[in-house]
Structure 1
Amino acid sequence: MDDTARGAATALRSAPACRLHREGPPPAGPGLLATVHHGDAATPPELVAGVPRVRLRVSADAAAGFTETWTAPGTVHSGRSGGMVFAHTDEHLFLAGHLPRGDRCARAVAVAYSAAFELVLSLGFPRLVRMWNLVRGINDTRSGTEVYRAFCAGRAEAFDRHRARGLGMPAATAVGALGGGIGFHLLATRSAGVTHLENPRQVAAYRYPRRYGPRPPSFSRATWLQPDPVEPGRGVLYVSGTAGILGHESVHPGDARRQCDVALRNIAVLIGRANTARHGIAAGFTPTDLRSVRVYVRHARDLDAVRARCALALDPAADVVFVVTDLCRRELLVEIEAVASASGGARCASAPHGGGPAP
């Protein structure tokens, strides 16, 4: 294969790219897989001019909103099925769905997520990479069970149904939202290499004891997407929502600053070369390599303290968004997700939020 052909093939295998837009409608362009708006209104996902559009209500303040655009090289095909919308290239898939609010959360989640997984498989993208779950009233109690625990039970049932088909358990985030019901969206790939990572500082979430609910959460701590098998050090690492949890226990109750420090340290160990090598990945990272960071903070009063801690740990040029919302456990005050890439790949570009040297 000559250099031109190799370059074209590599481009087609490149990971999906994300860009953040803070003002005005995001621009349209080639390879557009989806737009995801985080703002003051929520609607079920829809196709607009053939592009999936997701609107999530995460704030009562319209000025605090932002929009992600997801793109991938190649021709994009889109469609809808059973209330879900999707778009894909030859290699990568974006899919989104929504569950209306109801009393039988576990059953509804099991049915909806099973349908999503069936659609992913039928479209020919059998490797899940990343999932986001926005859950209204995540810490509320409904029918005697906390909503998040019921959500986890339904999600686990959906994964159980498809375990034999090799979907894998991807990186994920599950946080609160102000919109009704549960909104979810995901990325999957057809043939790119996918490796799911765990963290030596934490018990795997899917092995949590029953004290946290009838079924444990279904996600890995991170997922490595390697688009090109001949370039093992090139790819994208998607870091799940990471909180102040050691082993399986929440630490430093009531102290957002210290919880933030633990979350950042957890991420540092997770993405560090010692842990990535343990999972057979040629690339390793530090927190200063992160260029797409989303920080979820339970209370607005803790924003300044959390911003300050993040500024110390992250590169000044890091792309950081802070979102005030509820988290999966009532005692957790901070959760951080991120993306890192080696030799190119996914990156969310946005105006930086502060900075400072890493400690």
Structure 2
Amino acid sequence: MTNNQIDCMFQYENEQAGPPGGRHVLGRVVFGEASTAPAVRDGAPELGLHMASPGFDHFTEIWTTDAPAQSGEHRGLVYAHDGEYLFCAGRVPESGTYREQTREAYEAAFELMDRLDYRHVFRMWNFIGGINEDNAEGLEIYRDFCFGRAEAFEAKPDRVHCMPAATGIGSRSGGVSFFFLASRTGATQNIENRRQVPAFEYPPQYGPKSPSFARATRLVTAGGDETRGAVYVSGTASITGHETLHAGDIVAQCELSLENIAHLVSSGNLANGGLEGGHDLKDLRWVKAYVRHEEHLPAVREACAGVFPPQTHVVFLNVDICRDDLLVEIEGIVPAPVY
């Protein structure tokens, strides 16, 4: 059993505070005004994303653990690991098509996980420039990306089990940037929402390959009580079944997105999947809200303020969403309770 815990923090622009005493940086993601190639800086991998804009948030997401980490590079990826947790980041340069490059990048990531013996990936993020635009062959870039990602997962022996919580969201610059987290000994429990079709079972109308992710993943440290695991909630939108609802209505889309998250982490939904425990919206701590249109920011802020308590850190980013009729997407983390 490990006592090592992974944690997240948001460091806002112009803040000087670093990680809490005794914590070690596993990786950083800079949500700023430029995309930068992944690199090891000050001993830790760092990825720069062009996600910030005037009126929205500029911040750095920092992942820390209790143990010192070793960093390195592998086939264009940068990573750090501490014996229990792995942080890895990569970037696919802007291109006419993304299927092949995405598959190769994910295959390199899986190869690294196997080589370092971190078999339990529990959270992935993908930031896709021009997400709703067509590629050079006339296929939407998000669907092009999903094609390559799915092919990489299909090569895994247990593709459904290994598809964790994930976010696929727009970026304000071209190319695809991504990062993920994996554990060596922790157990992962993927969670679906009874009100939604699993993304990996979407019908063909959403592209030649379905998106490859679970609605949420719970991570339980080795030997730990499963009800005390952290829950990583995927990017969640105004979707029931597999269909977008409330097209053009930002207030209704916010409400349904939050309702979907509330149901997803509830005791009833977990029990339906054979899992114990349960949570409320107020239990989420690190939340990102992705807003398509700048003028909708006040409505999204109001919706989040109505359900998240003051101790929840909520950041807002002005980017496109994976479907052109979606106006908002929300994700978050329920941290493991401390007793």
TM-score grouping bracket, smaller chain normalisation: over 0.9
SS in 2 for 1:163: coil
1:4-32 Cα shifts (integer Å, max 9, x gaps): xxxxx6422x2x10110113356267421
Task: Quote the Cα distance in structure 2 between the aligned partners of 1:250 and 1:166.
Answer: 23
CA distance in 2, matches of 1:309, 1:165: 36
How does 1:24-43 map onto structure 2 within 5 Å? 24=14, 27=18, 30-43=23-36
Aligned match for 1:120, one of 113, 134, 138: 113
1:67-118 deviations in Å (ceiling 9; x for gaps): 0110111231110011100001111100000000111211111111111111
CA–CA distance in 2 between the matches of 1:59 and 1:23? 11
Match of 1:91 among 64, 84, 88: 84
> Where does the alignment leave 5 or more consecutive residues of structure 2 unmatched?
none
Flag the 1:341–1:279 CA change in 2: closer, same or farther, 3 A: farther
Amino acid at match of 1:218: S
Contact 2:124–2:179 (Cα < 8 Å) also in 1: yes
Whether contact under 8 Å (1:195, 1:279) holds in the other structure is no
Question: Partners of 1:333 and 1:163 in 2: how far apart?
Answer: 36
How many residues of Structure 1 are paired with residues of Structure 2 in the alignment? 335
C-alpha distance 154-69 of structure 1, shift in aligned 2 (>3 A) = same
Q: Secondary structure at the match of 1:162?
A: coil
Written as runs of structure 1 = structure 2, the 5 A alignment for 1:38-49 is 38-49=31-42
The correspondence for 1:316, drawn from 310, 320, 323, is 310
Q: Is the 8 A contact 1:36 1:69 kept in 2?
A: yes
CA contact (8 A) 2:142 2:322 kept: yes
Tell me, yes or no, if the aligned pair for 2:231 and 2:335 is still in contact at 8 Å. Answer: yes
Q: What is the one-letter code of the residue matched to 1:315?
A: P
CA distance in 2, matches of 1:195, 1:231: 13
Offset of residue 246 of structure 1: 0.2
Aligned pairs for 1:195-206 (under 5 A) are 195-206=189-200
Could you say what the CA RMSD is over the residues aligned between the two structures, in angstroms?
1.8
1:215 aligns with 2:212: no
Question: More deviation in 81-90 or 213-222?
Answer: 81-90
Contact 1:40 1:62 in 2 (8 A): no
Instruction: Give 5+ residue unaligned stretches, structure 1.
Output: 1-8, 346-359
Q: Distance in 2 between the 1:176 and 1:270 partners?
A: 23
Q: Which amino acid aligns with 1:266?
A: N
Q: CA deviation at 1:58?
A: 0.7
Deviations 1:180-222 (A, max 9, x none): 3100000011110110000001000000000000000000000
Distance 1:102 1:165 in 2: 27
Looking at structure 1, the residues matched to 111 and 276 of structure 2 have their Cα atoms a distance apart, in angstroms, of 32
> In structure 2, what is the Cα distance between the partners aligned to 1:166 and 1:177?
27
CA contact (8 A) 1:76 1:87 kept: yes
Q: Match of 2:34, SS? A: coil
Sequence identity, in percent? 42
The answer on whether the counterparts of 2:57 and 2:316 sit within 8 Å (CA) in structure 1 is no
User: Could you list the per-position Cα deviations for residues 296-327 of structure 1 after superposition, in whole angstroms to 9, with x for gaps in the alignment?
Assistant: 11001011111111222222332111111000
* TM-score normalised by length of structure 1: 0.89
Q: 1:334 aligns with which of 316, 328, 339?
A: 328
- Per mean C-alpha deviation after superposition, the further-off stretch among 181-190 and 52-61 is 52-61
Would you say 1:159 and 2:153 are equivalent positions?
Answer: yes
1:243: which partner in 2? 237
